[in-house]
Each structure stands twice: as structure tokens, then as C-alpha cells.
Structure 1
């Protein structure tokens, strides 16, 4: 007899520190569950909640108060890790974020504890950055599901042939030289271990202070729930997954905000347009904006492009990040004209309907930071990309999409006018031998993404599965309840090795004894 729901359950979706790449998949799952008759609520900080909830009126919003990552935080992050022209250390970037996560942990845990006591919640979905959400659900005995953007985030999904480091120049070690494998597997972790252990101890003491039993690496707690990876095979390196982990990405909605009339008219009139976007949390420095704009204006002079739409997002809130004017070949271009719609070629917008722009037939290229949402959305639209990644998983995403043949990417030190001009020519010039292949490969990746994106119902099934008594436990690997040496049969290997060693030793000893006996007998015969 099938398990049947007797009452609708309340689903709480929690995404506190991630960007839209983290929130939108949760909301997409929530929409399916509401259609099935379940009650769904989504909790987030007041600053981000309104923008994330647009288009999801069926889901109840729950405000968590003021966002600890205010504009000053993002400005400090940008000045430390985005403004410099050299590559930043991804480990230092991560520690910058980890620090704010620890500082907000106490307040968030108290909020979640109270919320779980006040409401009859049957299952909780937590973004992997909301460790306090996971801890609160586990403490309350409520089934929980973790959403994460990559299998690389889980130790249980790690494989020795797949780099765990987002900054690795390899998606797998299949073709990596010995020295790179040695450096990434042993030398680099050894250099970082002291800092990492310091933060692990901070995490342990923080949890103990709140009555939470520490559990080491953050993904270890995921073993007590189910895990949804909001990515897809093709962008993710192929590997076996733990039984409680499901690859159900990209989970992008079939609905998205439409073009404004002004923007539609602009794109209709500019049939060879480029869309530029660096995500919702990035602040770019003025000199890099100027470099990109000059390269685009020269591409216009060369006939490669006739229109540019650039969504500034958080950069628009930082006046110091915007140049005043640009001069290209003696012609002055006003940034103010670009922002007010008076420039004939470039539109600089505070915000833009990204997916609607990507799906417009005039859009020939997406210049992107390669955040997961942007990578998925350009792939789903079949538009080639030029990646200018900045931090976190962005270089890894750019590398993977380039290997699929859907575009090109430049490292930060390479982001100069000459390199941009060369890349734009390869991607857009009518006489470029590569232009057609980029478009063909983008269409191929589009097909992969659209098929992978049919997993919304499957994701909702997994959420319902979590509410069935014993279902989560059934997905827990027995290896997690066994000593590491027993789970890997190392004791058997040791026994067999010792047995073979003893057998060989006994055989050699017997042979030596037999030879010694025979030689001794022959010696006696000679003496006789």
C-alpha cells in the first residue's frame, strides 16, 4: 500500500547568503509543490526577499530582518578581490565569506529555532550556505534537504580524479600533468591547512556555544538529510554520487520577466546586439568598465556589433565605479547618455530582464561573469558567451562551458582591450572560421540544458519523499555507519596481503629447507 498524505504539509525554503543562483531553484521547486496542494513559505533577508519573490505570489515570504551583508560588505569584497587586475586567491575569497557566515550564524540559528517552534513545518529545504538552517532542522528532528550548486561542495561526492578546487585549471585530472596533480592534491592543501583549521575551530566553538554538537566539515551534516544539486551533468564533472544526493538542475523557470517596450524597440532596431551582465552582487571598478566599453565601441566601429545592453546591478549603486566619459579614436562617449538612453549604441541599465534579452533574436553574445545562473541561462537560450569570471566558482563554470565549445573566456589579467578585441572577432566576425562552431555548440548545449531542466517534478518528488518516515534513513549509505577501514575492505586487503605474504614466506622457507636437506644428503654421500 502506498504512503498517502493525510494533511498538507508546510514546506520552508531557506536561502540566506546565496545569490539568485541559490534562490531560484528552491522557488521553482516550491511552485511545483504548491501546484500539488502543499503550503510553501520562503525565508530570506529583507533586502533580497522582494527581488527573489517576484513572480512567485503563491509562495509565502518570511522576512528575516536586515541583511548582514550590506553594501559596505560587498564594496569591501570588491575592493579586495575584484578591483585588482591580478587573479585573487580563491581561498582568501572563501575565508572572507566564511567570516561573515560565522558572524551571522548565532542570530540566524536563533531565528530558525523560533520559526521551527512556531510553525507546523514538516520538511525544510536549506541552501548549503545556510548552515544554521541545517543545524536547526537537525536539532528539531525535522527532515531537511540541502540544495547546493555543485557536487564539489560535498566530501562524500569527491573523487581523486576530480579537482575539489574551483580555481583549478582542470575539470578532471584525465589530461593533467603529474606536477599539477601533485600540487593540487598535496602541496596546496598543506599550505592552507593552518588557516582552514583555524576556521574549523571557530566553527566548532561557535556551535558549542549554541548547544550544537560540532561535526567537522560542513557537508558532513548533509549525511542526515537529502541533497539536491541544482546543476546538470555536462557542466558538472561526471562521477558516482552518494545515495542521498540527486542531480536535478538546472531548475530554471519557464516563465521570466518580459522586455520593456523601450528595450524591445532597441533590440528590434539593433540586430547584432551584445548583452553584458556581471550578476547581482558584483561591483566592477571604473577602469575595467572603461576597458570593456572601449572594446565594445571598437567592435561597433568594425561592424561586429550594432547594439550593447549592459545590466549594471550593484555596480550602479557605487558612483565611484562608473567612469564619466570614454574617448575612442578621438570621439567622446558620455556615460550619462548611455544610462539615459541617448547613446545610439550602448544602453547602461540598473537592472534588465536577462532571460528575455538572451531569448531575443538580436542577441548574438553574452559577456558574463559566469555565475551559475548566467551560465545556465545563456546555455538555455543557445547564445554563445564570452566569460570574464571574477571569483568563487565562476572560473570553473567558464572553463567547463568553454570546453563544451559554447564560447571563450579570459582570465582577469588578460582582460585588456587587445584580448577582448581578439575574442570578439573570433566570436562574431563573419569571416571567423570559429563563429559557426560556437553557435552550433551553443545550440547543442541548449538541447542538453532543456532536457536536464525537465527535473522540476522529480525534485518535488524527492521533497515529498523526505516526509515519508524512514525514507531519508534508507538513503544513508551503510559506509557512514562503519569504520572507514571496514567500509573500504582495507581489513580484508590486509588479511589477504598477510596471508599471501605468510604463504610465500612459508613456501620459500620450505623450499630452502628442502634444498638444504638435499644438499646435506649429497654431502654425506660424498663423504661416504
Structure 2
């Protein structure tokens, strides 16, 4: 049989709206794997984000659909400042302000996707979307289009796992599994959600009202065990192992096979040094001046002791807003103690420090002179650091960054910093601990271990493409011409379509318990009757015994008389 008939090419729509390029990159990498199989790849996003795919890296995208304006720079700035100030230990309510802001782009995304799907010329066979794109779930329900949702970590309120406390994105620092967590930490992880139930209900109410005003009266389709694909941009080793249904899989690290090369300045800086510290705390993070000062002082001590001979600190324009550039520092330049302003340092006038607005991160991490990476622990940053084999100082700011920091420490490849309490001494001591260990020490051994695993796991984008192929081909032939479902999704487990009563065998346990009660009750009834009539029953038994005993004596006498 012709293989093209068995595995035909299909049109696949990649959708990324809010969240920035860190959300788009993993989705595009899955698109790359699908394009290599001959599928047609199109991309839908909000206005102004088309530039993400105009580089040579994503030439496989054949068409771009725009669906209206995205968040303003003011909205994003407020969001990142809010999240930077957020302390999960005090509750999760501040995150709902940001959630409401991102949700406000649901109507235009919903309308945009409907327009694409209802046009026979643009209707896709499959949608692969970032987890922020709630409208993708609506397209799945309304048009029977299979979807795959790409997440940085396991989504909250889905795929419950009883031995992992709390909800992904809202776990307290230090939370791994119940195997190692104290009873108090496990309890706090559950309480933190319960204490904010009123705020959660208000968020759900606002979402419901927004959907109803737009003519959609059903809730968001998010079953605990989904009838669509969920991909996590992580791998077991960084991500915690857990039981999963066939529709869900860790497929990371979803990294491009090519990356931006070193520019001439970074290349010259790295090749002239042997122990460089690379600092990148996120494109949108705006550190307060006090935190910048603590980092400069702590790293300065590392340089004075020769543990670090150069620093590259990627600091975009937005990240410099709160820095007091007039502050001066005493530092050693070419063997002499020199007084230099922070403005001069940011202008790259210190020979041992570089402050680029943008840094070719993967090329820097891939370089042998880079010895340590100071990161915020975001999913992409953690994946890249492990793939290129670099130990880390990790200071989680929000959501999966905090959980990743805990996992990196547990994996033996990082030391953690708390964004609220870290000190310059802590930066110095923890960095020294890692750097003194060397490549042959425990940190180096664990980095190599996870680097090898990450290289194997990076091939799982092909597994994601396999599951998408399966979902598409299954979906096309399990509905009749009227859209009536003829059979369930082949990857969906049967319990997803059953009541909890039947799926958990509670009915069998109930019948068994009832049967046991009947048997025990019957035995008790017989015993009670025997006890109440014991004199009569004992007499009956004695007479029966006598009759039996007498019968045997008669038989024995006859046998003796007959000499047998």
C-alpha cells in the first residue's frame, strides 16, 4: 500500500497569543517536527507578534493569521511587576489580576479561530496551542477538531496526582513529592488554595460572564483526564515522575536545533577567559536597585578570589528602570583598585563585566568558558542550561520558576536563592560551593547526568509529532458525515467516559460489602438460633451420636460373628 495514503499530509495550525516568545518557541518546535513529516504548518497569533517566525529558523511556517491586538506594554509591565512582588506563601490572589488581563483576549482569539475554521480554505486538521489559548478548547468542543496544548509544567486542576502536594504553578518553595515533604508542608500546599477560594470563585464568575456575553454558555472544557493531547516542555529528571493517561506526555526540552551565534564582543570576551558567570533573570524582570547591588557585591567577591574572571549580565532596557546608575563601586581593574559608577559598568566600561541588552544565551551556555549560570529558573532557561551542561544559581520569581528551582536543587545541579531574602554573602557562598566542586565534583557529575538525559529527551518532539499524527488520523475517521461520534478517541482511557462510581469499582465494593453482611448476618442468625435452643439441639445431637455409634457396634458384631 502507498505510504502516502496511510500517512497523508495535513494542515496544522499553531496558535500562540499572550505570554511572549518563551510560549511560542516550544509550540514552533513541535511544528518543526511536523513540517519535517510533510504537514503544512500555519501560525495564528496577535498583532505585532508575527516577527517571531520571520527568522530563517521558522521558514516551515507557510502562512500567518493575526487575530487582533495583544497586551500593551503597560499591561505587561504591570503584570511582571505584580508577579515579581508576589509571594505564593501569602496566597495566590494577586495572580488572578494577571489571569483576568490575559483572559480579556479570549473573545478576539475565539472569533479569530472560528473565522479560520469556518473557512474551508483555511480550516486546519489539528490545532497545537500554547496553554494560554483557552479558545483552542472551545474549537475542540464546537468543531470536533483535535488539539494539543503545550505547557511549561503540568496544568493545575487537571491530571490529579495524590503524592504531589498542591497545584502546579502555585506550590510553595521546597515542594517536591509527599515522599520527602513534611506533613506541615503538604498541608500548607493544600490550605493555600482553600484560603483563596472566594477569589477563585470570583475569577470563575468573571470568566463565565465574559463567555456568556460572547454567546458561549458552557464552561471551559478542561476534564481531569483530557480527551485531547497535553504536552509538557520538560523531561523526567527535571519534571517529577507521575502516572499519566495516554493523552499526556513530557516531550521537552523543546529546543531549536540551531541558535544565534556569539557576536564578536561576546566571542572575544569568552575566549579570553576561563571562568565566566552568566546572569539572565528573564527579559521582563525589573530588579530593584537593592537587589542589583547585592548581586554586584556578591559576584565582586567571587572575582576578587579568582573564582570568576568575567561576568556577562544580560540586562534589557526594561530591566534597568529601577537601577540607580549614580551608585559607585570599588573594584579591581587590571590589578588596580578603581572607583567606578554603575552607569559606566552598564555602558561596558569595566573590562571584566558585560551588560548587553540582548545576549545569545544558548551560544553563551554552550561555551566552555561559561562555568555558572545565575537564572530565574524559567522552563526554557532550565532546559537550555541542562542541555548545555551548566550548573546554576536559581532564583525563582513566579509560577513554574519556583518549582523548577526546587527540582534543580533536588537534581543536584543548582543552589537556590529566595527573591525576598537573598544576600550578597549567600550569592558568594553558594557560587563558591559550586565552582569549588569543579567538573569532577558532585555538581559536575549531576550536571553531566542530566545533560545526557536532556539530550535523549530532546528527541521526544518526534514523540509529540507521533501522538499528533495518531490523534489526527483517528479523529478524521471516527465521526460520520453529520459529525456524530462513532467511537471514542483511541488514546482516551475508558474511565474518562465512566462515572466515578463505576470507574473506581465502588459498585463492586458495595455489592461485595453487602454480600459479606448477608453471609455474616446469616451465620449470626444460625448461631443465635442454636444458642437459644441449645438444650434441645444438644439432645438431638446426642441421640444422633448414639444412633450412629450403635449402628457401628452392630456392624462390628456381625463382622466378628462371620469371622471377617
Query: What's the TM-score once normalised by structure 1's chain length?
Result: 0.90
Q: What CA distance in whole angstroms lies between the structure 2 residues aligned with 1:315 and 1:519?
A: 98
Conserved? CA contact 2:89–2:192, under 8 Å: no
Residues 216-270 of structure 1, C-alpha deviations (whole Å, 9 max, x = no match): 5x63298332222222112222111112112221121221110001110011112
Q: What CA distance in whole angstroms lies between the structure 2 residues aligned with 1:248 and 1:433?
A: 31
Conserved? CA contact 2:439–2:445, under 8 Å: no
Q: What CA distance in whole angstroms lies between the structure 1 residues aligned with 2:317 and 2:520?
A: 71
Shift of 1:433: 8.7
* Range that drifts further, 30-39 or 416-425: 30-39
Q: What CA distance in whole angstroms lies between the structure 2 residues aligned with 1:3 and 1:213?
A: 41
Conserved? CA contact 2:21–2:52, under 8 Å: no
Residues 321-354 of structure 1, C-alpha deviations (whole Å, 9 max, x = no match): 4544342478533333333332111111111111
Conserved? CA contact 2:329–2:342, under 8 Å: no
Shift of 1:20: 3.5
Counterpart residue number, 1:510: 526
Shift of 1:379: 0.3
Conserved? CA contact 1:341–1:347, under 8 Å: yes
Q: What CA distance in whole angstroms lies between the structure 1 residues aligned with 2:227 and 2:4?
A: 22
Q: What CA distance in whole angstroms lies between the structure 2 residues aligned with 1:413 and 1:519?
A: 83
Q: Which runs of 5+ in 2 are unaligned?
A: 332-336, 479-487, 540-564
Conserved? CA contact 1:325–1:334, under 8 Å: yes
Conserved? CA contact 1:87–1:413, under 8 Å: no
Shift of 1:144: 1.6
Counterpart residue number, 2:505: 489
Q: 1:361 aligns with which of 363, 368, 393?
A: 368
Counterpart residue number, 2:185: 180
Counterpart residue number, 1:239: 242
Residues 44-86 of structure 1, C-alpha deviations (whole Å, 9 max, x = no match): 2344442465321221343344321x222233234433257x6
Give the secondary-structure state (helix, strand or coil) at the position aligned to 1:146: strand
Counterpart residue number, 2:274: 271
Q: What CA distance in whole angstroms lies between the structure 2 residues aligned with 1:46 and 1:135?
A: 21
Q: What CA distance in whole angstroms lies between the structure 2 residues aligned with 1:320 and 1:433?
A: 35
Conserved? CA contact 2:315–2:358, under 8 Å: yes
Conserved? CA contact 1:224–1:476, under 8 Å: yes
How many residues of Structure 1 are paired with residues of Structure 2 in the alignment?
A: 516
Q: 1:409 aligns with which of 409, 413, 416?
A: 416
Residues 285-332 of structure 1, C-alpha deviations (whole Å, 9 max, x = no match): 22212211221122111211111111123634x533454434247853
CA gap of 1:139–1:323, structure 2 versus 1, over 3 A, is farther
Q: 1:66 aligns with which of 63, 66, 69?
A: 69
Counterpart residue number, 2:208: 204
Shift of 1:405: 0.5
Conserved? CA contact 2:83–2:95, under 8 Å: no
Shift of 1:488: 0.8
Q: 1:453 aligns with which of 417, 434, 458?
A: 458
- Once the two structures are superposed, the pairs formed by residues 344-359 of structure 1 within 5 Å of their partners are 344-359=351-366
Q: Which runs of 5+ in 1 are unaligned?
A: 524-528
Shift of 1:418: 1.5
CA gap of 1:53–1:369, structure 2 versus 1, over 3 A, is farther
CA gap of 1:114–1:465, structure 2 versus 1, over 3 A, is same
Instruction: Give the structure, 1 or 2, with the largest relative contact order (CA under 8 Å, sep 6 or more).
Output: 1
User: Within the alignment, does 1:143 sit opposite 2:146 as a pair?
Assistant: yes
Conserved? CA contact 1:428–1:435, under 8 Å: no
Q: What CA distance in whole angstroms lies between the structure 2 residues aligned with 1:422 and 1:522?
A: 87
Counterpart residue number, 1:4: 5
Conserved? CA contact 1:355–1:377, under 8 Å: yes
Q: What CA distance in whole angstroms lies between the structure 1 residues aligned with 2:457 and 2:375?
A: 22
Conserved? CA contact 1:235–1:401, under 8 Å: yes
Q: What CA distance in whole angstroms lies between the structure 2 residues aligned with 1:263 and 1:269?
A: 10
Q: What CA distance in whole angstroms lies between the structure 1 residues aligned with 2:155 and 2:164?
A: 8
User: Within the alignment, does 1:117 sit opposite 2:118 as a pair?
Assistant: yes
Give the secondary-structure state (helix, strand or coil) at the position aligned to 2:41: strand
Conserved? CA contact 1:337–1:343, under 8 Å: yes
Q: What CA distance in whole angstroms lies between the structure 2 residues aligned with 1:433 and 1:7?
A: 51
Counterpart residue number, 1:17: 18
Counterpart residue number, 2:559: none
Q: Which has the larger radius of gyration?
A: 2
CA gap of 1:451–1:482, structure 2 versus 1, over 3 A, is same
Residues 380-418 of structure 1, C-alpha deviations (whole Å, 9 max, x = no match): 011000001111111100111111101111122331112
Q: What CA distance in whole angstroms lies between the structure 1 residues aligned with 2:5 and 2:166?
A: 41
